[in-house]
Amino acid sequence: MKEIQSSNTSELQIIVTGTHLSPEFGETYREIEKDGFFINKKVEILLASDSPVGISKSMGLAMIGFSDAYANLNPDIIVVLGDRFEIFAAASAATVARIPIAHLSGGETTEGAFDEAFRHSITKMSHLHFVSTKKYKERVIQLGEQPDRVFDVGAFGIDNIRNLQLLTKDDLEKSLDFKFGQRNLLITFHPVTLENSTSKQQFSNLLSVLEKLKNTHLIFTQANADTDGRIINQMIIKYVSSNSNKAVFYKSLGQLRYLSTLQYMDGVVGNSSSGLVEAPSFKIGTINIGDRQLGRVKSESVIDCDSSIKGIQGAFNTLFGEEFKKLVSNVENPYDKGKVADKISRVIQTHSLDNILKKKFYDIETLM
């Protein structure tokens, strides 16, 4: 957004939706404004329920809201990120409105979440594709997209690690109102949306293992607005209230505090993509629980485990082992390719949009 904002040839328009507008999730649209951006439209989708019916209704409201926003703003192209149900609605409305779509982070797989279907559907609706690894580029082409419209640029979140002035330990502790311990863990656990009501048991198993750790301080961040996310958040609040001497909970750390926190962690725990994408750049290990991120490209710093108590305990034994610590200190991040925002911005601003809406399916079989 900053690259486009500083351009002499392009005008940045921003539409904000979903949890960014929700008090329950920290009203993080304020962070966008604090970074110097003007929000052109806010699309309220009323995330009052995380049930399947509630999520589906939110998607319907998103379709209506984005349709109105596009009619008002009249964009030449829209840029969307990832695989959320809100973004599926945004892309669907743009497709009907005949607006070209640039899609960031396509080609990835998350076999345990319905994000998988949304992501690939967004790919088929999009016209320019920016992926984070060679494998993901191949997968987007496998879906029938023209190779000259698929760009392997790396993960742009890593740009922020280099470009932001991260907080010192003292400043971060003051900002968080939290003292780091002998060991420190950052925990983010989201629902596995293609499993039926497993969130409570899986997260309960994680809390059971965390309870037994000695001299370890815990920073929890809130689960997202997927189905059953509130169950996890209620369990976090209950646990932290009983363990306030060693645990703290945040609705949202914000970009700066989140990345600053990673500097001082002994590990990232849960099933968030950040543990796979950003954490390796800080030379720390990630415990990746369950199937939510199944299929993603991972560095050697990621420890996969099932959601049983035994599986999670075994992962912690590995994380704190001297052999693994030595391995992590030399790990390479497969998503780190540098100057990602610059690469994306240049393509978006210079690629011709003439006749881009009519896509020809790139059939791999006929080309072999």
**Structure tokens belonging to residue 357:** 């809406």
73 and 44 share a domain? yes
Q: Residue 52: what pLDDT?
A: 83
Residue 160 in any domain: the answer is: no
Same domain, 203 and 278: yes
Residue span of the structural domain in which 320 resides: 167-328
Residues 116 and 198 in one domain: no
Tokens representing residue 289 in the block? 């629980």
Beta strands in the chain (DSSP E): 15-17, 41-43, 78-81, 101-104, 128-131, 150-152, 183-188, 216-221, 247-250, 267-270, 285-289, 302-305
* Predicted confidence band of residue 159 (pLDDT cuts 50, 70, 90): confident
Q: Which two three-digit tokens encode residue 121?
A: 């559907």
pLDDT of residue 109: 84
CA distance 7 to 4: 5
Q: Please, which pLDDT band fits residue 254 given cuts at 50, 70 and 90?
A: confident
Buried b (16+ CB within 10 A) or exposed e, 19-31: bbbbeebbebbee
Q: Answer yes or no: do 318 and 358 share one domain.
A: no
| Dihedral-angle region of residue 235 (phi above 0 means left; psi in -120 to 50 means alpha; beta otherwise) | alpha
More reliable by pLDDT, 194 or 257? 257
Give the domain CATH number at 262.
3.40.50.2000
- For the residues 275-290, what does the mean pLDDT come to? 95
Q: For the chain, how many structural domains are there in total?
A: 2
In a shared domain, residues 229 and 296: yes
Q: What is the pLDDT of residues 68-115, one digit of tens each?
A: 999 999 999 999 998 889 999 999 999 999 999 999 999 998 766 677
Mean local confidence (pLDDT), 190-212: 82
Residues 55 and 113 in one domain: yes
358 shares a domain with 292: no
329 pLDDT exceeds 90?
yes
> Do 83 and 183 lie in a common domain?
no
Predicted pLDDT of residue 281: 95
In the chain, % of residues over pLDDT 90: 74
Let me know whether 91 and 180 are in one domain.
no
144 falls within a domain: yes
Report d(CA 66, CA 44) in Å as an integer: 10
Distance CA 237, CA 243 (A): 10
pTM score: 0.80
